[in-house]
């Protein structure tokens, strides 16, 4: 059997007008520049997240309440003869009224850790960075919100603690008016110290990306190590301890000069160096590492 193939003549079919347009059309790339997210919008978004989470609001309120309530208790028990009372270790009414500042600083520092380490633990930080497009803006916006909220709360709480503490003061020293320049300096130093500890906690949370590790380093490095270093020789203590954040904070909050501490101006400089330095390290690591 012989097979034959029927060759059909190929014809050139000209496309119609619409089909030709479709064939000749070339894809175009949208050259419209993408709109950058402004810093104020990022800050606004962080503020919404901050006030939407109940735990953050409770933590800030707890920091302020602890300062006021414990200040009243310490001031009211200043005249007690029981040597075991913590209040008997202090006699200055201003120091008594603000004796709980370290506890409030610890609470705000932990809050700073949770603001960013919590997002790393849940993976939300990737969504935040993708939406913003800049890791430094994410870190900066968290710092702005934390500093702004804690500054307002600490300033109000410290004024209330001084006012109520001196009203309930049971000691034998003269109290100081709130309008006194020394008191204003104490309020400013207390606010700066507590806000700075919160920012240090934020930086440690960004550096370590672990809530437990960052809180442990914050509490141990800022509040426990200075006390342990007092066991070292005096030469080491005098040359090292006073440059730690907690000791610089004590100098900023003190109404009298202490030879074992830095001067007020030097204390502000050293404390600012700690805060800015740790935030800079956090920013560099956030840019170099994957979220």
Ranges of each domain in the chain: 39-288
Which range scores top for mean pLDDT: 45-59, 122-136, 269-283?
269-283
Terminal Cα distance for the chain, rounded: 73
Choice between 74 and 14, residue whose per-residue pLDDT is larger = 74
User: pLDDT tens across 202-237, in order?
Assistant: 999 999 999 999 999 999 999 998 888 877 777 777
Q: What is the pLDDT of residue 87?
A: 44
Q: Can you give the pLDDT at residue 116?
A: 94
At 151-210, the pLDDT tens digits run 999 999 999 999 998 888 877 676 777 778 888 999 999 999 999 999 999 999 999 999
User: Residue 234 class from Cβ within 10 Å (0-12 exposed, 13-18 middle, 19+ buried)?
Assistant: exposed
The b/e string for 57-94 (b: 16+ C-beta within 10 A; e otherwise) is eebbeebbbbbbebbbbbbbbbeeeeeeeebbebebbb
Tell whether pTM > 0.85: no
């Amino acid at each position: 059997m012989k097979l034959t193939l029927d060759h059909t003549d190929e014809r050139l079919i000209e496309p119609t007008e619409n089909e030709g347009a479709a064939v000749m059309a070339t894809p175009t790339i949208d050259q419209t520049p993408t709109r950058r997210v402004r810093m104020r919008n990022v800050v606004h978004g962080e503020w919404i997240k901050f006030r939407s989470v109940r735990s953050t609001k409770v933590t800030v309120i707890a920091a302020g309440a602890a300062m006021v309530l414990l200040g009243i208790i310490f001031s009211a028990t200043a005249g007690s003869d029981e040597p075991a009372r913590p209040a008997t270790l202090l006699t200055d009414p201003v120091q008594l009224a603000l004796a709980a500042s370290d506890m409030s600083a610890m609470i705000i520092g932990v809050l700073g850790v949770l603001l960013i380490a919590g997002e790393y633990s849940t993976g939300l930080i990737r969504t935040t960075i993708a939406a913003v497009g800049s890791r430094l803006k994410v870190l900066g916006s968290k710092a702005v919100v934390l500093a702004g909220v804690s500054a307002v709360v600490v300033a109000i709480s410290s004024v209330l603690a001084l006012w109520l503490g001196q009203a309930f003061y049971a000691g034998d020293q003269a109290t100081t008016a709130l309008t006194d320049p020394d008191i204003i300096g104490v309020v400013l130093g207390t606010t700066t110290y507590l806000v700075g500890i919160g920012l240090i906690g934020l930086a440690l949370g960004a550096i370590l990306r672990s809530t437990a590790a960052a809180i442990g380093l914050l509490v141990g490095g800022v509040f426990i190590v200075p006390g342990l270093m007092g066991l070292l020789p005096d030469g080491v203590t005098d040359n090292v301890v006073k440059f730690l954040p907690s000791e610089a904070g004590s100098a900023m909050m003190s109404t009298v000069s202490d030879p074992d501490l830095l001067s007020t101006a030097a204390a502000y400089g050293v404390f600012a160096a700690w805060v800015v330095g740790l935030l800079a390290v956090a920013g560099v690591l956030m840019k170099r590492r994957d979220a």
